[in-house]
Chains A and B, each alone.
Chain A
Amino acid sequence: MGVTVYVPTPFRKLAGNQTYIEADGETVGEVLDSLGSAYPALRHMIYNDADEIPGHVNIYVNNQEIHSLQGKATPVKDGDEMAVIPAIAGGAIEQPQQRSVALTPEQVDRYSRHIIMPQVGPSGQRKLMETKVLIVGAGGLGGPAALYLALAGVGTIGIADFDVVDLSNLQRQVLHQTDDVGRPKVESAKDTLNAYNPDVNVVLHNTPLTSDNALEIIPQYDYVVNGADNFTTRYLVNDASYFAGKTLVDGSILLFDGQATVFVPGQGCYRCLFPAPPPPGLVPNCAEAGVLGALTGVMGSIQAIELIKQVLEIGDSLVSRLLLFDALSMEFRVVKLRRDPKCPLCGDEPTIKELIDYEGFCGAPFPGPDGH
């Protein structure tokens, strides 16, 4: 009888740093007992002195909390998934800080909530400070992504956007404020990011990305975060990131739905996911159909998280997985994303070997001052 038990971050160091543990038992209680025998320190977290599961720990079987089932007597079968989830109160864990010669005392203070986590530490913080990220689009997704990356101390943040701030942007685009209406978005973005963190070097690309400039701009960065709002730019950014050998953290939104994934060159790309764009007009954009403002914060933050995980080389990334978020049903789902051997860009016999005519491919111009 094999059950997979998910161990959340706070308990992981008590369980040999494993995220998933296989354990045996025919009931929840038996599985927890076998976990407790294998990892005595974990047992202290799962059971209190009275040998009961403490109130701040929930146990789930296949996403159902056991209080709504049969408690510890809930039967489990081969292939079931359990999870041990403690309430997380936030706040700091008391732990001596390791100071690094490369960080100033002010930086150690500023980034202390990251640095005290062993997954970051001073060396991880230095990695973030040495990282250069290009954000495509200073809008709904690019805004929160850039904001959290700036707060985290990512050293260089490039912003590519040609647009000016419009009043209708302010329902969701956190980089821009009422007084910014009419200003170039890149300038407003730079002011906001530097107000939050003056250490960040914000580089401005106040121009539409096109086949002419994408392979000049993208290679200057280590990673690309995609917050584009049209298919033409999405296919361009995908192809250019692949040719430049850069990891692309992708996100997209519409209405109440969000999608996010990570494309590492050679492990699948946007063309493997969606081989061709819809004909113009068939899938509406946010301006035509609308988008929930707070949804952009969720998806942009997820992109920032995935970027930080890439830099720190921690956790399980969204590479080869597509995350789907439905804000109406409040469900996150993950589906598989495969590299397509027949992909014209990253497949076994590629036919796209340089940037193409994306306006022709998508049947739609690049948006921008000269695009329409």
Chain B
Amino acid sequence: MTVEVKVTATLQKMVGGQRVIQGDGATVGEVIDDLERKHPGIKDMVMVDGQIHRFVNIYLNDEDVRFLSQLDTPLKEGDVLSILPALAGGA
């Protein structure tokens, strides 16, 4: 299954400047593995030691997957994932 994955500006440079990319997989983890095949290096920006970085949130539609089943969260047709790293900027 293919889902849309929205990425913010800091990750966009790894995916050729796109803001929305496509990922294949039945779970959040499978989609990230697929993104790594298409955009090598992106997985390290999102995960470490098999877990999502603690400064990165992945949303399934509007829900943080940390409060669902994390990387095992199942996906269905039409779902949208968003990868959101913390931003520190204020000045």
Contacts and interface: CB of A to CB of B under 8 A. Distances in A.
Interface string B80-91: 001011111111
Nearest to A139: B91
Contacts of A326: 8-9, 19
B interface, by DSSP: helix, strand, loop or mixed? mixed
Nearest to A166: B91
B63 A285 contact: no
B53 interface: yes
Given A275-B54, A329-B19, A254 B59 contact: no
Interface stretch (A3-11, A276-284, A311-319): A276-284
Contact of B85 (A283, A291, A335, A336): A283
Q: Which of A142, A274, A333 has the most CB of B within 10 A?
A: A274
Nearest to B59: A335
Interface in A224-282: 226-231, 234, 251-259, 273-278, 282
Contact of A336 (B45, B64, B90): B64
Interface of A: 136-137, 139-142, 169, 173, 226-231, 234, 251-259, 273-278, 282-287, 289, 291, 324, 326, 328-329, 333-338, 340
23 contacts: A136-B90, A142-B90, A226-B90, A228-B88, A228-B90, A229-B90, A231-B88, A234-B88, A254-B88, A255-B10, A257-B8, A257-B87, A274-B57, A276-B54, A284-B10, A287-B91, A289-B10, A324-B82, A324-B84, A335-B82, A335-B84, A336-B64, A337-B64
